[in-house]
Chains A and B, each alone.
Chain A
Amino acid sequence: MSQRHPRLRELKFTLYRIIRNPSAVIGFTLLLFFAGVALFAPQIAPPKYTYNPYMMPHKGFSPTPKPPSDTNIFGTTSGQYDIFYGAVWGTRTAFKIGLFVVGIAVLVGVTLGAVSGYFGGIIDEIIMRITDIMWAIPTLVLAMAIVVAFGRGLDKIMIALAMVQWRWYVRVLRSEILTLRDQDFVQAAKTMGVSDLKIILRHILPNAIYPILILASMDMGSMVITASFMSFVGLGAPKGYSDWGQMVALARNYIVGPPDDPLKFWYTIVIPGACIVLFVLAWNLIGDALRDAFDPKLRRR
């Protein structure tokens, strides 16, 4: 009986499960779309201010938003900022936020979690106590406290979120490592004299990485949501910056239009909002598909 290499077979099976999953396909398509928009932003929406392409162009300062027209495809928001431009360049901002926060959170969280879980003892106790303290306050509240301490700005939001979010990864990785550490294959490697670092990198991490991947892809979405709320409240990017949350903030006074046409300014909210929702949805679908593909109990039906 021919046996293909087991790892290849498992990989093929995982890919099969992902591709067969319609939500995964939708998620990937959406993500590719956004990635494309982000990559080709200068071509799709040529920047007006080359020194800072993230500032949305505006013709004039009138507070009343204008509906979609030939010059402004998605219309303008309060202060005459072009919504289309903001939506396009906002994609770049969203990716920036997500990748920065998740990247740092994963790095710090995985390192601390690995050290804590693998070595145990007093190091584990210290790290876990510190993490426990951090858990006492919800993400948003703690991030807001940090931003208030450090000052306004998109970069401060990203730093604050990164400082708060790593606690998830420490927990997840530590629990995975605790399960794996006592398994026979790790014990075998130890008796053969493999160094601790090598054991962690070559044996434990490849097995523990799955829940981290799932969490990371969900977080790409969550962090964008939290960051956009903080921008909405006014803690983030300055007025006119291409950030979806900031754009919704500009629309705050125009939720309800004049009595005869209350939905008049729908585009000021719906368009940036749809961008946020679709972006987060893409990541969540991918994360969900990954979760289904990796779960050993849901496999093999």
Chain B
Amino acid sequence: MAKLLETVDLVTNFYTYEGVVKALNKVSLVMDHGVTFGLVGESGCGKSVTARSIMRIVQEPGRIEGGKVIVFLDEKDKQAGIDLLDQSETYMEGLRGDRISMIFQEPNAALNPTMSIGDQVSESFLFHQKKEMCAKILEDLCAPECHAFYPFKKFQQALYRIAARNPGSLALRILNRIPIVKRWQKRLKKEAKTRAIEILKKLSIPHSEQVVEQYPHNLSGGMKQRIVIAIALACSPMLLIADEATSNLDVTIQAQILELLHRLKEEVISSILLITHDLGVVAETCDRVGVMYAGNLCEVADVKDLFDSPLHPYTRALLDAVPRFSMEGKLKSIEGDVPNLVTPPPGCRFHPRCPHAMDICRMELPELTDMGNNHLMACHLIDC
């Protein structure tokens, strides 16, 4: 399988009043096409920051300070990797929502309360598919069945011809500011709305024609999350990043959403980066898993491998801590506290809590090494 995404030694810091929070400490993640990759870890370990660093939408006062984020957007040509950190903001704006999309944790806040659902979903199409839509409208306009008032028709044909070639041309931008003239965009907006209704239907949202006219406060939480997914999938991206997308929903809705994502993976998207703290979700839905702790990737493996034979001490402790019906006695927990990322422990950040800590763990950060079968681990206990 071809590589889709590779981060190399990604470093992201947050400059706060209390000091510099070293959120990502040389994270090197590799993800292939067609894979559902689960990124797990405790709250505050840096999973969301990694996702946002990939999309380059890290919040203030965060800054990406080092490393590379290489994406291989052309599935056939494996060599065509682009370092996202080198690209301009305009390029990133074109990428976001079109090739890589992201959905977030809180569906109630993720939608603009004063814009209709239709407008918000159409926005994705208007950002990325203007050319195609204009070309299609032009075709319709030139077709013999089009019965529009002749001068308007000619005028619109001319405009759409320009738009199909270059939507951001100066002429169009000027025309868009003139009150009556800018109505030429009506067809475009209508086309975008049609596509919006289509994608809503694809996500099994009932009564999509009515939903499109409604506002976020008219809908339930589960429905809103579907809309958010619809927005993300509107332009058929190659990668969908789901940042704790089901954490705020109740269990039944959660199951529905996960099933939806699974079905869509077959039809629409090819790869998903699923960020969660729920090991159960990972076991159910993911092909490959990465475990993060305090800004470092500790272990990456295929999902069966990870659960059958966890290698890293942290992963082992994590899996031990999951309560099972067959257990008796006290619940197992991991000793100690999550480190303060302003003054993180030197070397391996897990060493203060690790039962197998050695001297070298205090001094050197371990690198991710392949232990066979594409099972990677970052620990100095390689020989154990």
Q: Tell me the A residues contacting B by CB distance below 8 Å.
A: 1, 13, 300-301
Contacts and interface: CB of A to CB of B under 8 A. Distances in A.
A13 B16 CA distance: 13
Interface string B16-28: 1100000000000
B151 interface: no
B280 interface: no
A300 B60 CA distance: 11
Contacts of A13: 17
B61 interface: yes
Nearest to B14: A301
Interface in B306-340: 340
Interface of B: 16-17, 60-61, 340
Given A1-B340, A301-B17, 6 more contacts: A13-B17, A300-B16, A300-B17, A301-B16, A301-B60, A301-B61
A176 to B, nearest CB: 24
A301 B14 CA distance: 9
Contacts of B16: 300-301
Nearest to A16: B17
A13 B340 CA distance: 19
- Which 8 A-B residue pairs are closest in the complex by CB-CB distance? A301-B61, A301-B17, A300-B17, A301-B16, A300-B16, A1-B340, A13-B17, A301-B60
Contacts, number: 8
Nearest to B60: A301
Specify which of B16, B17, B340 lies most central, judged by the most chain A CB atoms within 10 Å of its CB: B17
Contacts of B60: 301
8 contacts: A1-B340, A13-B17, A300-B16, A300-B17, A301-B16, A301-B17, A301-B60, A301-B61
Contacts of B61: 301
A301 B16 CA distance: 5
A204 to B, nearest CB: 28
Contacts of B17: 13, 300-301
B343 to A, nearest CB: 10
Nearest to A300: B17
Contacts of A301: 16-17, 60-61
A189 B353 CA distance: 39
Contacts of A300: 16-17
B5 to A, nearest CB: 31
A8 to B, nearest CB: 16
A71 to B, nearest CB: 55
A1 B336 CA distance: 12
A77 to B, nearest CB: 51
A116 B16 CA distance: 40
A265 B17 CA distance: 52
B341 to A, nearest CB: 13
B70 to A, nearest CB: 32
Nearest to B18: A300
B347 to A, nearest CB: 20
A300 B61 CA distance: 10
Contacts of B340: 1
A1 B340 CA distance: 10
A237 B340 CA distance: 63
A300 B340 CA distance: 16
Nearest to A299: B17
Nearest to B61: A301
A1 B339 CA distance: 11
A300 B17 CA distance: 6
Contacts of A1: 340
A300 B15 CA distance: 10
A299 to B, nearest CB: 8
A61 to B, nearest CB: 62
B17 to A, nearest CB: 6
A180 to B, nearest CB: 23
A1 B60 CA distance: 27
A295 to B, nearest CB: 14
A301 B61 CA distance: 7
Nearest to B15: A301
Nearest to B340: A1
A216 B17 CA distance: 29
B45 to A, nearest CB: 19
A1 B16 CA distance: 19
A301 B17 CA distance: 6
A194 B233 CA distance: 54
A272 B16 CA distance: 45
A102 to B, nearest CB: 32
A254 B61 CA distance: 55
A289 B15 CA distance: 22
